[in-house]
Amino acid sequence: MKSRVESREESVFSFPTETLREGSAVLMVPRLEAYAKGRMEYIPSRAPVFYNPLMSLNRDVAVLLLRAYQRMADRSLFVCEPFSGCGVRGIRFAREVQNISRIVLNDRNPKAAELTRLNVAKNSLSKEIIVENLDANTLLSNYAIPKRRFDVIDIDPFGSPSPFLDSAVRAMKDGGLLASTATDMAVLCGAKSSACVRKYLGRPLRTEYCHELAVRLLVNSLVLAAAKHDLGISVLFSHSTDHYIRVYAQIFQGAGRANESIGRLGYIAHCFNCLNRKWNKGFSNFPDTKCDICGGEMNVAGSLWMGSLFDKGFCEKMSGEAEAAELADKKRVQRLLNAVLGEVDGPPTYLVVDRLSEKLGLPGLSKAKLIEKLVERGYRATDTHFNSRGIRSDAPIEVVKRVAGELFP
């Protein structure tokens, strides 16, 4: 539940504030109308303390995932959020997830740290939550020794999380959970290829499934950051929503686990002429770039994470938690989880019906009918949460084209 309630502490800060409720947390935040462009186009980066109401789904999913992870880990959790803004996420963790022993909230903005302290007190959580005012990498490095490390670290910066992954993995306990958000979608989706290589150590492509490639690029950068410290990863959940992507992964100690993770990196080759795509695993196994359908030159994305983007059992645990959780937008969260559960075991990449229609000159191609016909022919075909017009299928592209054509006799 998210709602606006009466504010009585506006004079505490030098900027206008209001009090909101999100989930079970009551929070003082910068008054949204004061930082709007035009008619209520709220721009969070304009505010003296960062708060984005549009990211409530992100925080809802984080709460659900942490609830499921706590049940799986079956221990009290030591949690860190290096970019806390006004403290909304950490306060919701403390109020909505059982058996959290302590939470460290941090923001290098002094006003944010001050506002977080007020919100922590407002929610009667001063004993459970420590508030710091440090650079994120400095904070994480302070906890990068045995017996000080975190069970959960949630990195939600403005832009790319890559500069903080190295410090984060060093501050993780064995089997701990690392969550990371990336909002630099122009970089990850191929508009700024050189920047993507620098930040994520992989080349993007401007394809219709670029949001999936973005998630795979983020995990690639996490794998390579962890491997330097003899750490491996296992992805529990990921999603692409609105203007950002989000990845949740367990971090495991051991050179063997690091080698296994590197072994799941690979490449995807895409033919812009006929929409063929092929993929392979192996960090050094660069694919053949000749299209085996039309003979054209294929473009390559990678290195990328070519392992699973979702753990089915864990997704089912999250879905079970959703029933009892107090969420800002429960219906939207459940729609997301249902879509993910439908595609969880599907192959890499998806087709977008509109792109297929354009290529084949078939206006008005029905996604539902195309899925139905592919399933009738024995192929797997499902929706994908990455794109409302997307289909994830194991059918070869030539079969998909033929079936699409048969829908227009």
The pTM for the full model equals: 0.95
pLDDT of residue 3: 52
Strands 100-106 and 36-37: unpaired
Domains defined for the chain, CATH in brackets: 2-46 (no CATH), 53-314 (3.40.50.150), 351-409 (3.30.56.70)
Q: What is the mean pLDDT of residues 321-350?
A: 93
Q: What is the mean pLDDT of residues 155-168?
A: 96
**Best CA proximity match to 182, nearest among 154, 153, 218:** 218
Strands 129-132 and 100-106: parallel
Q: What is the mean pLDDT of residues 348-370?
A: 95
CB 393 within 8 A of CB 349: no
**Best CA proximity match to 97, nearest among 168, 37, 24, 172:** 24
pLDDT of residue 1: 46
pLDDT of residue 34: 84
Q: What pLDDT digit, counting tens, does each position of 65-116 carry?
A: 999 999 999 999 999 999 999 999 999 999 999 999 999 999 999 999 999 9
Structure tokens at 196: 């993507």
Q: What pLDDT digit, counting tens, does each position of 249-299 carry?
A: 999 999 999 999 999 999 999 999 999 999 999 999 999 999 999 999 999
The Cα–Cα gap between 45 and 396 comes to 44
Residue whose pair of structure tokens reads 């959970």 in the numeric block = 177
DSSP string for 334-382: HHHHHHHHHHTTPPS--EEHHHHHHHHT-TT--HHHHHHHHHHTT--EE
Task: State the average pLDDT for the chain.
Answer: 94
Q: What is the mean pLDDT of residues 189-202?
A: 97
CB 312 within 8 A of CB 297: no
Instruction: Give every CB contact of residue 323 below 8 A, 6+ residues apart in sequence.
Output: none
Angle at 102 between CA 52 and CA 230, to 5 degrees: 90
pLDDT of residue 38: 62
Is the pLDDT confidence value at 42 over 90?
no
Is the pLDDT confidence value at 39 over 70?
no
**Best CA proximity match to 26, nearest among 119, 94, 102:** 119
Residue 324's pLDDT band (boundaries 50, 70, 90)?
A: confident
Residue 244's pLDDT band (boundaries 50, 70, 90)?
A: very high
DSSP H helical ranges for 181-235:
185-188, 193-200, 210-227
CB 182 within 8 A of CB 168: no
Is the pLDDT confidence value at 37 over 90?
no
Instruction: Give every CB contact of residue 1 below 8 A, 6+ residues apart in sequence.
Output: 21, 22, 23, 326, 327, 328
The Cα–Cα gap between 325 and 305 comes to 31
Tell me the β-bridge partners of 240. 245
pLDDT of residue 325: 87
Residue 6's pLDDT band (boundaries 50, 70, 90)?
A: very low
Q: What pLDDT digit, counting tens, does each position of 206-240 carry?
A: 999 999 999 999 999 999 999 999 999 999 999 99
pLDDT of residue 33: 83
CB 216 within 8 A of CB 304: yes
